[in-house]
């Protein structure tokens, strides 16, 4: 049974009616009264804070380990609630993107450009071979380290993957950094492969000048804005999700490229030259580079772009 992210949010709201208000109260204490001072622009509320709130609601009998899986899902929904961004990928583009391996070392600066506290990627019919309808992605920051989190929406259930510690290393190393010596946490190469796929998707959203279009012209994903009220500035969640189309223009280029190849084939056969060889292509790939002086005299920036396949030797 397919369950939308909004339906998941409504389900948890009914199950824990006080939870979101508790989250707002904890966020208001960030950096005060002994509370950690996490990066509030990057992370709405650390996973550990949601873990504690669930323990309070469920009673003293619950251990942190007992609520950790649910807390990972709650953290995704609690942050997503404020923007409700749903990202829908063009099928042709997504197929090409998933053929592209993420860089061996993923620069932390890229992932921390995630445009919203939590986002939801809707697979639609693009990945029919997978059971999942989509996934949430968010960063948890406990003021000591930052972790990238994926929560899968599989047949109406929310299943959290092992978080990935953000740093200049590979996807598998990011998982290993979290697992450490914990013998009760297991993962397989299939888990690593899936994490690579999901990381590639999120990396594109975080890359420089991604092909993103909102249903409302000019609407680009962002964090929630404060609204002035009689009681000061406050945030208000939207009434309904906002949809963003990813890779629409690139999808058109892919379609035109394939149509051109087919046109050459038909013309070659019609001219009696037989079926031509398929042109030599340079595969789509990630291209990343640093700019700015290394001596610290100016701010350095890492630029990452996904480059579409190109025909070579012409």
**148-168 pLDDT, tens per residue?**
999 999 988 999 999 999 988
Distance between CA atoms of 243 and 117, rounded to whole angstroms? 16
Q: Is residue 231 part of a domain?
A: yes
Structural domain span for residue 67: 5-247
Q: Is residue 97 part of a domain?
A: yes
Domain count, the chain: 1
Say whether pTM exceeds 0.85.
yes
The predicted pLDDT at position 72 comes to 93
Q: Is residue 194 part of a domain?
A: yes
Mean pLDDT score, 114-131: 81
Kindly tell me if the per-residue pLDDT of 123 is higher than 60.
yes
Q: Render pLDDT for 223-233 as a digit per residue (tens, 0 to 9).
A: 988 888 888 88
Q: Is residue 273 part of a domain?
A: no
Q: Render pLDDT for 178-196 as a digit per residue (tens, 0 to 9).
A: 888 776 778 888 899 899 9
Q: Is residue 266 part of a domain?
A: no
190 vs 120, which has greater pLDDT? 120
Q: Is residue 296 part of a domain?
A: no
Q: Is residue 307 part of a domain?
A: no
Mean pLDDT score, 269-290: 73
Q: Is residue 19 part of a domain?
A: yes
């Amino acid at each position: 049974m397919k369950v939308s992210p909004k339906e998941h949010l409504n389900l948890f709201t009914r199950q824990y009616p006080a939870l979101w208000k508790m989250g707002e109260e904890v966020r208001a204490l960030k950096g005060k009264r002994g509370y950690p001072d996490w990066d509030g622009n990057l992370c709405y509320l650390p996973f550990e804070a949601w873990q504690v709130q669930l323990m309070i609601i469920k009673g003293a009998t619950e251990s942190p380990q007992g609520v950790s899986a649910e807390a990972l899902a709650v953290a995704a929904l609690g942050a997503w609630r404020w923007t409700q961004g749903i990202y829908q990928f063009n099928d042709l583009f997504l197929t090409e993107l998933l053929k592209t391996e993420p860089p061996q070392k993923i620069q932390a600066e890229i992932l921390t450009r995630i445009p919203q506290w939590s986002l939801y990627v809707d697979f639609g019919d693009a990945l029919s071979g997978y059971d999942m309808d989509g996934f949430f992605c968010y960063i948890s920051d406990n003021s000591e380290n930052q972790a990238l989190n994926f929560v899968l929406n599989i047949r109406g259930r929310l299943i959290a993957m092992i978080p990935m510690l953000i740093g200049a290393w590979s996807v598998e190393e990011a998982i290993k950094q979290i697992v450490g010596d914990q013998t009760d946490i297991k993962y397989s190469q299939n888990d690593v492969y899936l994490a690579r796929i999901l990381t590639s998707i999120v990396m594109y959203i975080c890359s420089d000048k991604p092909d993103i279009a909102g249903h409302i012209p000019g609407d680009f994903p962002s964090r929630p804005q404060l609204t002035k009220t009689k009681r000061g500035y406050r945030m208000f969640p939207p009434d309904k999700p906002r949809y963003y189309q990813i890779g629409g223009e690139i999808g058109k280029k892919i379609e035109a490229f394939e149509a051109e190849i087919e046109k050459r084939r038909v013309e070659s056969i019609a001219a009696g030259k037989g079926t031509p060889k398929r042109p030599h292509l340079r595969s789509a790939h990630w291209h990343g580079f640093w700019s700015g002086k290394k001596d610290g005299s100016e701010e350095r920036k890492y630029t990452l772009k996904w480059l579409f396949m190109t025909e070579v030797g012409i």
